[in-house]
């Protein structure tokens, strides 16, 4: 975790359902415990920060979640409006331009513009200053969309840098893209599960991040690890077909053991495949009582 302490921006992504938001919140707790001021930013998502931190629902305004931790759930139209106000510096001029129905239709029809509005807003918070001139936040954690949409979001500033003529939009995309590619300031954290499909997506995702986009992948976080109950020999025995009487109370126990053995086998095979990747890994345990509490987050933070 030490190498994460000096980052200004972390892009947290992975297959849907692997626990990205929970891992983002646990990372925030860990970094905050080291004295960092952390912003957790979600991308127009079903809001879960309030459930995890036991606070009021989080909307498009930055609000406190816990000591040294703030949260925001970015909405594309609101982010675009904020960007427009920063550029035009006049509410009257902003309404004349951005509230025009033809302009709004253009925004909705332009691929990637709303994605850039959210990603650009998250990046902008790394430049935001407090009244005393210091950084308002030490680090921004972007709870990004799942794998495919997350990649599309990261491609947008690169496309702007490559094809958009010099101007305000190009200037900000240049600055953001330079930060995202700088391994001393930024990095991608990929969350996965020790299962076939999430690992397949993780391997493909890393290929695109490192090959196509040339972005630094900081960590793979393997979430929901099961503690092994069986040896390899016991697993082999449990997967053999057994002629048991279904009315026998022992049948349910053996069947449960076989299911657990299968999950352990898949987990071991998945970890072996991840072991071929040259990216540091962090392992988080499966929490049998669920992760929807501050105590659970604190436990995951401690494991980080």
For residue 48, the SS3 value is coil
pLDDT (0 to 100) of residue 90: 57
Which CATH code for domain 2-226+280-303? 3.40.50.300
Q: For residues 167 and 165, what is the distance between their CA atoms, to the nearest angstrom?
A: 6
Q: What is the pLDDT of residues 44-79, one digit of tens each?
A: 888 899 999 999 999 999 999 999 999 999 998 788
pLDDT (0 to 100) of residue 292: 81
Placement of tokens 């790394």 in the chain: 126
Q: What is the pLDDT of residues 67-110, one digit of tens each?
A: 999 999 999 878 877 776 665 555 665 555 556 665 555 555 45
Task: Identify which has the larger pLDDT, 171 or 202.
Answer: 202
Q: For residues 210 and 208, what is the distance between their CA atoms, to the nearest angstrom?
A: 6
Task: Identify which has the larger pLDDT, 70 or 278.
Answer: 70
Q: What is the pLDDT of residues 200-250, one digit of tens each?
A: 999 999 999 999 999 999 999 999 999 988 888 888 887 776 665 566 677
C-alpha dihedral (113, 115, 121, 123), degrees to nearest 10: -110
**Beta carbons within 8 Å of 41's beta carbon, 6+ residues apart:** 71, 72, 73, 74, 121, 122, 125, 140, 141, 142, 143
pLDDT (0 to 100) of residue 85: 66
pLDDT (0 to 100) of residue 257: 84
What pTM value is reported for the model?
0.88
Task: Identify which has the larger pLDDT, 104 or 192.
Answer: 192
**Beta carbons within 8 Å of 37's beta carbon, 6+ residues apart:** 68, 70, 135, 136, 137, 138, 139
Considering 90-104, 186-200, 288-302, the range whose residues carry the highest mean pLDDT is: 186-200
Q: For residues 6 and 137, what is the distance between their CA atoms, to the nearest angstrom?
A: 12
Q: For residues 136 and 38, what is the distance between their CA atoms, to the nearest angstrom?
A: 9
DSSP 210: I
H or E segment to which residue 199 belongs: helix 196-207
Q: What is the pLDDT of residues 7-50, one digit of tens each?
A: 999 999 999 999 999 999 999 999 999 999 999 999 988 889 99
């Amino acid at each position: 975790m030490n190498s994460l302490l000096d980052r200004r921006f972390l892009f947290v992504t992975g297959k849907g359902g692997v626990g990205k938001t929970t891992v983002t919140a646990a990372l925030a707790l860990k970094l905050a415990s080291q004295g960092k001021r952390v912003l957790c930013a979600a991308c127009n998502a079903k809001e879960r920060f309030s459930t995890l931190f036991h606070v009021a629902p989080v909307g498009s305004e930055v609000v406190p979640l816990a000591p040294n931790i703030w949260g925001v759930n970015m909405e594309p139209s609101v982010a675009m409006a904020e960007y427009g106000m920063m550029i035009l510096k006049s509410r009257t001029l902003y309404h004349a331009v951005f509230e025009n129905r033809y302009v709004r239709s253009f925004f909705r029809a332009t691929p990637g513009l709303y994605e850039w509005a959210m990603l650009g807003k998250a990046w902008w918070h790394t430049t935001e200053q407090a009244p005393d001139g210091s950084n308002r936040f030490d680090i921004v954690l972007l709870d990004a969309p799942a794998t495919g949409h997350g990649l599309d979001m990261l491609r947008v500033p690169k496309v702007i840098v490559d094809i958009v003529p010099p101007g305000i939009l190009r200037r900000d995309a240049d600055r953001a893209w330079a930060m995202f590619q700088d391994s001393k300031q930024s990095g991608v954290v990929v969350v996965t599960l020790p299962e076939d499909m999430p690992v397949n997506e993780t391997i493909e995702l890393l290929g695109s991040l490192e090959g196509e986009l040339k972005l630094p992948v900081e960590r793979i976080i393997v979430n929901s690890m099961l503690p092994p109950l069986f040896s390899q020999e016991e697993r082999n025995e449990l997967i053999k077909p057994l002629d048991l009487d279904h009315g026998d109370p022992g049948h349910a126990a053996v069947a449960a053991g076989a299911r657990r053995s299968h999950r352990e086998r898949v987990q071991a095979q998945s970890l072996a495949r991840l072991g071929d990747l040259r990216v540091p890994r962090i392992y988080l345990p499966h929490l049998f009582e669920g992760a929807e509490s501050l105590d659970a987050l604190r436990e995951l933070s401690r494991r980080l």
